[in-house]
Amino acid sequence: MRLLLFTAVAALLGTCSSQPPLLEQIMEIGELRVVTRDSPTAYVIGPEGPSGPEYDLVRAFAEELGVSLSIETVQSVSEVLPYLMSGHAHLAAAGLSITPSRREYVNFGHPYEMVDMHLIYKLGTGKPRSIDDVIGRPIEVVAGTSHVDMLASLQNVYPELAWTENADVEVADLLAKVAAGEVDFTVADSTEFSIQRHFYPDLRVALDLEIGDPLAWAFPREIGDSLLGRADDFLIAADRSGMFARVKDRYYGHTNKFDYVGTRNFIRHYESRLPRYREHFEQAGREWDVDWRLLAAIGYQESHWRSQAVSPTGVRGIMMLTKDTARYLGLSDRLDPKNSIFGGAQYYARQTERVADTVDEPDRTWMALAAYNVGFNHIKDARRIVEWQNGNPDTWVDISKALPLLAQRKWYTQVPFGYARGWEPVLYVNNIRSYYNILKWLTANEGKPDVEPTVPSEISAKQPAEVTTT
């Protein structure tokens, strides 16, 4: 049925040969219409507006064209191409793999990302060593995806391989089903799995089905390549300028190192320890205009939410404040939970204020967190090093590369504030990003035992005034 729809729409579009090039049409109407899907790896709307890897890229592309951006969303991968081919969107940016079956109906641009395709199982259910071990066990995948094409190609070699296709779910939903033991296996791209495994720490990669699967934007096939060519130029330039690296760091940087035991402990402590201090975190968040979950993530990184924590270096309390910092904040008792949490919130807020006005979110948050850990003066030194290296000191991805250099004589002897264990604030920020993301997911689904969760995205950039969503 879907093939018939694609063919009919393609034939209809083919009759419109008298239309001007698509890029010219877009410039004329002053609007770029993009279809995407509601997913943390593409586009989501959070408390601070829209965000997501695909959103960041198409927003920058629209800005380069000098037009406004209109985002059209669909709920499943199988809806993306029909929507595009219906003429309601100019391009599709939805984390689409380039497959032969899709190439029959649309054109793909320059691949902007390579992902691995994993077969996922739950720890303790028996890890398969080959496809032979999978045969006869329940597999469920999202309909209309490259995952179906992969299984179909495997079926040529393993005729008894069978699976179920579901058009009403996303990969995140199927990962939840595997974690709950409702199905033995599903297939997920490495980007999706890297996010979701923090919420379902029992999930594991059973087999790598494909390495280096290319993702690209899709364009209507029958109306020329004017927009595709311009988009390719933009994507190639974005790769060379470091934009891709910044986008990847924004959404996946905290997922690079996964700690299975640590994640399970965090979820357990969320239930056993956090309730004692949650009200203090919420009050401090309101007073200092900081998301209380971010403050709680800092507290967990510092002390695992232990009010009597004391380090060998003398820092104390839930927020692990030094004696000098406590004196600076006017705190008399660092071990008092409320004092510590309110003091930590105040100290973090002051670090945020010190970050340059030219730094946008979420980089501003990551730099403030790093300053909380290592001191703001070392952040200033790292900015100087980035400038010497012709990088962008307003981006966390460049700052995070410069901070470890502060432990090398070649670099710390050239900056005003000298030596620092610069790798520590980078690990510190990554850990807090992971804890914060898990906290957002846990709190968003409190009291919803029968509802599948929708995972919130990272802190996002503010929504531009010219962006509309439907």
Catalytic residues: 302
The conformation of residue 139, written as its DSSP 8-state character, comes to B
Rounded Cα distance, 395 and 358, in Å: 10
Is residue 2 exposed (0-12), middle (13-18) or buried (19+ Cβ within 10 Å)? middle
Rounded Cα distance, 281 and 277, in Å: 6
Question: Phi, psi (5° rounding) for residue 207?
Answer: -145, 145
Tokens matching residue 372: 């909380």
Residue 353's nearest CA partner among 341, 342, 340, 367 is: 367
At how many degrees (to 10) do helices 337-354 and 292-303 cross?
A: 110
Tokens matching residue 143: 């309909």
Q: Residue 124, SS3?
A: coil
Place of tokens 């951006």: 69
Place of tokens 């104390």: 316
The conformation of residue 359, written as its DSSP 8-state character, comes to P
- The dihedral built from the CA positions of residue 37, 456, 32 and 392, taken in this order, carries a sign that is negative
Q: Across the strands, what pairs with 59?
A: none
Beta-sheet strands, E only, within 161-259: 164-166, 186-189, 203-220
DSSP 405-462: GGGSHHHHTTSTT----THHHHHHHHHHHHHHHHHHHHHHTTT-TTS---------PP
Rounded Cα distance, 177 and 185, in Å: 9
Q: Across the strands, what pairs with 108?
A: 218
Is residue 407 exposed (0-12), middle (13-18) or buried (19+ Cβ within 10 Å)? middle
Residue 439's nearest CA partner among 450, 455, 422 is: 455
Tally Cβ neighbours within 10 Å of residue 315: 18
Rounded Cα distance, 239 and 2, in Å: 34
Tally Cβ neighbours within 10 Å of residue 121: 24
Q: Across the strands, what pairs with 141?
A: 165
